């Protein structure tokens, strides 16, 4: 049922609200252009993706509103915690994302940030916003599945 953990991957941040607020469609892996003090903070797990999103600007994709805390030992050479960060994607991927975002209701959101072989990566997804009734329906389905599993556990 569950996937085996990926070799050499350390997840440093997840956006747990993403699957609740959006229908997730296509997923992509992107590298991030970071400063020295930023990668130190990422390795310490001082990252928050809750209100982050991705915007395509021409032939570039930028990660906006991702909070990477300042690295204390860097003091004066520190970075701005909310600065825009460039995502490293192929041109075809960027054009595909930009094309889809032009459609109504689509956005690009980060799902998780992780370290793979020492390099910071972000898993991003093309997402369509859920309406309130979609969220209620998903919660009801989850509750009914939990009740079914509970009953099966008692009988077994």
**Across the chain, what does the average pLDDT equal?**
84
Token code pair at residue 117: 């072989």
Tokens 């041109």, located at residue: 91
pLDDT of residue 29: 92
pLDDT surpasses 50 at 98: yes
Of 13, 8, 65, nearest to 42 by C-alpha is 13
Token code pair at residue 156: 């077994």
- Distance from C-alpha of 47 to C-alpha of 121, rounded to nearest angstrom: 12
Cα 99 to Cα 28, 108, 121: the distances in Å are 15, 12, 23
User: Do the Cβ atoms of 112 and 11 come closer than 8 Å?
Assistant: yes
Which pTM was predicted? 0.76
Mean pLDDT across 90-94? 91
Chain centroid, CA 47 distance in Å: 11
What sign for the dihedral angle of Cα 8, 47, 21, 123? negative
Cα 64 to Cα 61, 108, 109, 127, 148: the distances in Å are 10, 11, 10, 16, 41
pLDDT of residue 114: 92
Read off the pLDDT of residues 114-123 as tens digits, 9 standing for 90 and up. 998 888 999 9
- Distance from C-alpha of 28 to C-alpha of 7, rounded to nearest angstrom: 18
Read off the pLDDT of residues 105-155 as tens digits, 9 standing for 90 and up. 788 999 999 998 888 999 999 988 777 777 788 888 888 888 888 888 877
Q: Could you tell me what percent of the chain has a pLDDT over 70? A: 95
Which CATH number, 3.40.109.10, 3.40.50.2300, 2.40.280.10, 3.90.226.10, labels domain 9-130? 2.40.280.10
Chain centroid, CA 27 distance in Å: 10
Read off the pLDDT of residues 6-32 as tens digits, 9 standing for 90 and up. 667 888 888 888 877 888 888 999 999
Token code pair at residue 49: 């993706």
| pLDDT band per the 50, 70, 90 thresholds, residue 39 | confident
| pLDDT band per the 50, 70, 90 thresholds, residue 1 | very low
């Amino acid at each position: 049922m569950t996937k085996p953990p990926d070799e050499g991957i350390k997840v440093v941040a997840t956006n747990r609200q993403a699957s609740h607020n959006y229908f997730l469609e296509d997923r992509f892996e992107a590298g991030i252009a970071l400063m020295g003090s930023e990668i130190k903070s990422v390795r310490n797990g001082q990252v928050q993706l809750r209100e982050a999103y991705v915007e395509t600007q021409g032939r570039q994709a930028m990660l906006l509103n991702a909070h990477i805390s300042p690295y204390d030992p860097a003091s004066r050479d520190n970075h701005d915690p909310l600065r825009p960060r460039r995502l490293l994607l192929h041109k075809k991927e960027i054009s595909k994302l930009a094309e889809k975002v032009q459609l109504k209701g689509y956005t690009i959101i980060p799902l998780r940030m992780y370290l793979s072989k020492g390099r910071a990566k972000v898993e991003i997804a093309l997402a369509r916003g859920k309406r309130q009734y979609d969220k209620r329906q998903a919660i009801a389905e989850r509750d009914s599945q939990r009740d079914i599993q509970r009953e099966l556990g008692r009988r077994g």
